[in-house]
C-alpha cells in the first residue's frame, strides 16, 4: 500500500516548523532581506528545534530522521521565507559531504560542534564551483599537492561558496592527480583562520538575500592528512559518494523550491479571489482560473516527486533508482517554482512588481534557486543516463566551470 501521509511524529515536527514560518519568518521576511541575514534569535530557535542536523545519521551526531522528514521541514520553512533555509546555522552541505565521504571518526569530530549549545552561530560550507574551466584537461583547477610530511598544500580559487564568510569549517574539492582528471579529485576540510585562506567580498545577488555568497582563495593552505575525506576510498567509490552528496543536497534545495511554489500559489490564489473586476473576482475569469489550476498542479506534482525521491533514499532503494527519482524531482521543481513565481507576479498585475507584496521576491528567489546545487539541465542528464543505462560520468553530472552552479 502506498501512503503519502506523514507519520504522527513527522506531522508534529512539520506543524512546529510551519508555526515558526507563519509567526516569524513570513512577518520578518523583508527585515531579513534588508539585513541580508537571519536574526540571531531566529537562528537560535531553529537550532533548538534541531533543524540543522535532521538528515545526518544519528551515529554521526545528527538527528537521524532521514531525508523524508528533512524535505517536509525544508518545505515548511520555505513557505514562510524561501531564502531562510539558506541562512540557518548548521553544517549545511558540509554535513552531506562528511556523511558520504568521511570516516566515523572524522564525522564525529567535524559534526559534533554543530550540535553544541552555541551551534546557532556555527556554519559549514562546501567549496566546489570555479569560475574558469581547465582547458587542457577535465577536472578542477584548484590543486592539492601532497607534501613530504604527508600534509596537503592547496592552491586555487573557488567561487559562489555559500556561507564562506561565516563558516567555521569548509570542505574544498581539489585536483590531486591531473592525469586522472575527474577520477583524481580529493576533498579536504579547512578550518576557519587557516594560513593562506582568504574570503572575498560578499556578492550582491538577484534573490535569496540572506544567503551569503563569496569567492574563496587558497594560497598554499596546508591541510593535515587526517582532514582529507575519503582517502581510503578508490576513485570509483569516491566519485559515487560525491554524486550522492550532490543528489541529496539538491533534493533539500528542491524541497525549498516546493515551499516557494506553494507560497507563491497560495498568495496569488487569495489575491485573485479577493480582487474584483467587472463585478466578480478576477480568479473567476477562465484565463486566470486555468492558470491557477496549472500552478496548483505544479505544486502537488513537485511535492510528490520530492517525497518519492526522499523515500527512495530512506528505504534503501537501489542507488540508481534513488538518483533517477532525485533527478526527476530536481528538474521538475526548478521549473515549477519558476512558473509559480512568474505567474504570481503576472496575476498580481501592477502590484506584482511592487515590494509591498511578496511575490516579486519569490520570482527572484525562484530564478536564483535554479542555479543551486544541480541545475535542471544536469538533473535531466542524470535521468537520461540512468534511463539509457549509461555510466554516471562526473564530467557532465557535477557542477563545473561551464555550468557555473552556486551554493556548493
Per DSSP (E only), the strands in 38-151 are 124-127, 143-146
What is the three-class DSSP state of 182?
helix
Q: What is the pTM assigned to this prediction?
A: 0.95
- Supply the CATH number for residue 153's domain: 2.40.110.10
Q: Is the dihedral of CA 397, 398, 404, 407 positive or negative?
A: positive
Give pLDDT, residue 1.
Answer: 42
What are the φ/ψ torsions at residue 167 (nearest 5 degrees)? -70, 135
Give pLDDT, residue 404.
Answer: 54
Per the structure, the complete domain to which residue 85 belongs is given by: 8-90+104-121
Report residues of the chain scoring pLDDT below 70: 1-2, 396-397, 399-408
Give pLDDT, residue 400.
Answer: 61
Give pLDDT, residue 127.
Answer: 95
H/E segment holding residue 158: strand 152-162
Q: Is residue 402 part of a domain?
A: no
Q: Is residue 95 part of a domain?
A: no
Strands 213-223 and 152-162: antiparallel
d(CA 340, CA 296): 9
Give pLDDT, residue 60.
Answer: 76
- Render pLDDT for 36-49 as a digit per residue (tens, 0 to 9): 999 999 999 999 99
Q: How many residues does the chain have?
A: 408
The percent of the chain in helix, strand and coil, each rounded to the nearest 5, is 55, 15, 30
Domain count, the chain: 3
- Supply the CATH number for residue 279's domain: 1.20.140.10
Strands 228-229 and 276-277: unpaired
Q: Are residues 50 and 139 in the same domain?
A: no
- Number of other residues whose CB lies within 10 A of the CB of residue 329: 31
**C-beta pairs of 286-295 under 8 Å, 24+ apart in sequence:** 288/347, 291/343, 291/347, 292/265, 292/268, 292/347, 294/339, 295/261, 295/264, 295/265, 295/268, 295/339, 295/340, 295/343
Domain boundary among 193, 214, 229: 229
Q: Are residues 252 and 173 in the same domain?
A: no
- Render pLDDT for 288-314 as a digit per residue (tens, 0 to 9): 999 999 999 999 999 999 999 999 999
Amino acid at each position: 500500500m502506498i501512503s503519502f501521509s506523514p507519520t504522527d511524529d513527522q506531522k508534529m515536527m512539520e506543524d512546529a516548523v510551519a508555526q515558526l514560518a507563519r509567526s516569524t519568518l513570513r512577518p520578518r521576511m523583508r527585515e531579513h532581506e534588508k539585513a541580508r541575514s537571519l536574526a540571531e534569535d531566529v537562528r537560535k530557535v531553529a537550532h533548538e528545534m534541531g533543524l540543522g542536523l535532521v538528515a545526518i545519521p544519528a551515529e554521526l551526531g545528527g538527528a537521524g530522521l532521514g531525508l523524508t522528514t528533512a524535505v517536509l521541514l525544508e518545505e515548511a520553512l520555505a513557505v514562510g521565507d524561501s531564502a531562510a533555509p539558506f541562512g540557518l546555522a548548521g553544517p549545511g552541505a558540509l554535513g552531506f559531504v562528511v556523511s558520504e565521504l568521511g570516516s566515523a571518526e572524522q564525522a564525529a569530530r567535524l559534526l559534533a560542534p554543530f550540535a553544541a549549545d552555541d551551534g546557532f552561530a556555527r556554519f559549514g560550507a562546501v567549496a566546489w564551483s570555479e569560475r574558469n574551466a581547465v582547458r587542457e584537461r577535465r577536472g578542477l583547477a584548484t590543486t592539492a599537492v601532497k607534501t613530504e610530511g604527508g600534509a596537503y598544500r592547496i592552491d586555487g580559487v573557488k567561487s559562489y561558496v555559500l556561507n564562506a564568510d561565516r563558516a567555521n569549517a569548509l570542505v574544498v574539492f581539489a585536483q590531486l592527480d591531473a592525469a586522472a582528471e575527474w577520477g583524481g579529485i580529493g576533498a579536504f576540510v579547512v578550518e576557519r583562520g587557516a594560513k593562506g585562506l582568504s574570503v572575498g567580498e560578499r556578492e550582491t545577488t538577484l534573490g535569496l538575500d540572506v544567503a551569503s555568497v563569496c569567492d574563496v582563495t587558497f594560497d598554499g593552505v596546508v591541510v593535515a592528512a587526517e582532514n582529507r575525506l575519503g582517502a581510503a576510498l578508490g576513485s570509483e567509490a569516491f566519485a559515487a559518494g560525491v554524486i550522492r552528496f550532490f543528489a541529496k543536497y539538491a533534493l533539500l534545495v528542491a524541497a525549498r523550491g516546493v515551499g516557494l511554489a506553494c507560497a507563491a500559489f497560495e498568495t496569488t490564489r487569495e489575491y485573485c479571489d479577493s480582487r474584483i473586476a467587472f463585478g466578480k473576482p478576477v480568479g473567476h475569469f477562465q484565463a486566470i482560473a486555468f492558470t491557477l489550476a496549472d500552478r496548483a498542479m505544479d505544486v502537488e506534482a513537485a511535492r510528490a516527486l520530492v517525497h518519492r525521491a526522499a523515500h527512495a533514499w530512506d528505504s534503501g532503494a537501489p542507488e540508481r533508482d534513488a538518483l533517477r527519482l532525485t533527478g526527476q524531482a530536481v528538474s521538475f521543481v526548478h521549473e515549477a517554482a519558476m512558473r509559480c513565481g512568474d505567474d504570481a507576479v503576472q496575476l498580481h498585475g501592477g502590484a506584482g512588481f511592487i515590494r509591498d507584496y511578496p511575490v516579486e521576491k519569490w520570482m527572484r528567489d525562484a530564478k536564483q534557486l535554479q542555479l543551486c546545487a544541480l541545475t535542471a539541465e544536469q538533473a535531466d542528464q542524470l535521468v537520461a543516463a540512468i534511463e539509457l543505462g549509461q555510466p554516471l560520468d562526473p564530467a557532465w553530472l557535477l557542477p563545473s566551470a561551464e555550468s557555473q552552479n552556486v551554493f556548493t
